[in-house]
Amino acid sequence: MREDNVSKRELRERLLQVRRGLTPGDRAEAERVIAQHALDLPELSRARTVAAYVSMGGEPGTRALLDLLRERGQRVLLPVLLPDNDLDWAPYEGPGGLVRAARGLYEPTGPRLGPDAVTRADAVLLPGLAVDGRGLRLGRGGGSYDRVLARLDAAGATPALVVLLYAHEVLDRVPDEPHDRPVDAVVTPEGVRRFGKG
């Protein structure tokens, strides 16, 4: 699907509409299969620390993956939304260590490690609504993960960047801006697609 002449706002709404149409069974199966594919990624297998997120709404589910990463002995960091839409980070200590927060998010209750904690992650799982053939990700528009990516660049950090999506959200092209940074891979229920870096 090519989306050259569509604004980010219009494209976001189209993609969110499709997500709203997914059944609970569709979402549960996608979560299970995405977790399996993601765990097979060498970038995640060798990661000591993975920065991730708790899925919400119609996003591809992450909870199974978070728990499996912890079971393998990997440290998982989850975001805490700050008032200015930046992200702090705290360790994930299991489902019992999550609380409902602003905007319907679930956040960890553990100690806050500061916004720069993400720069020490070996892999970063990014939420999104779409990714294109160049590896450019379309987010929800809040700018939180743009700040994360800028922070990684400023620190010279080079973790693997992986976005989790449904297969129909891998598009030919998404609207982009000069600051957009490509991801390394997308994981969908159908498998993994990698993107070359210029």
Q: What is the DSSP letter of 172?
A: S
Q: Which residue has the tokens 């939180």?
A: 144
63 annotated to bind ligand: no
10 annotated to bind ligand: yes
12 annotated to bind ligand: yes
141 annotated to bind ligand: yes
9 annotated to bind ligand: yes
53 annotated to bind ligand: no
User: What phi and psi, each to the nearest 5 degrees, are found at residue 85?
Assistant: 75, 5
- What is d(CA 12, CA 15) in angstroms, rounded to the nearest whole number? 5
197 annotated to bind ligand: no
The three-class DSSP label of residue 29 is helix
> Helices 63-71 & 24-39, crossing angle to 10 degrees?
30
Burial class (CB in 10 A: 0-12, 13-18, 19+), 97: middle
Side chain identity, residue 51: A
61 annotated to bind ligand: no
134 annotated to bind ligand: no
7 annotated to bind ligand: no
Q: Residue 160 in contact with residue 52, Cβ under 8 Å? A: no
Helical segments of the chain, H only: 8-20, 24-39, 42-45, 63-71, 144-155
Comparing CA positions, the residue from 114, 110, 109 lying closest to residue 87 is 114
11 annotated to bind ligand: yes
8 annotated to bind ligand: yes
Could you list the residues known to form a binding site for ATP, using ranges.
8-12, 137-145
Could you list the residues known to form a binding site for substrate, using ranges.
54, 59
Could you list the residues known to form a binding site, using ranges.
8-12, 54, 59, 137-145
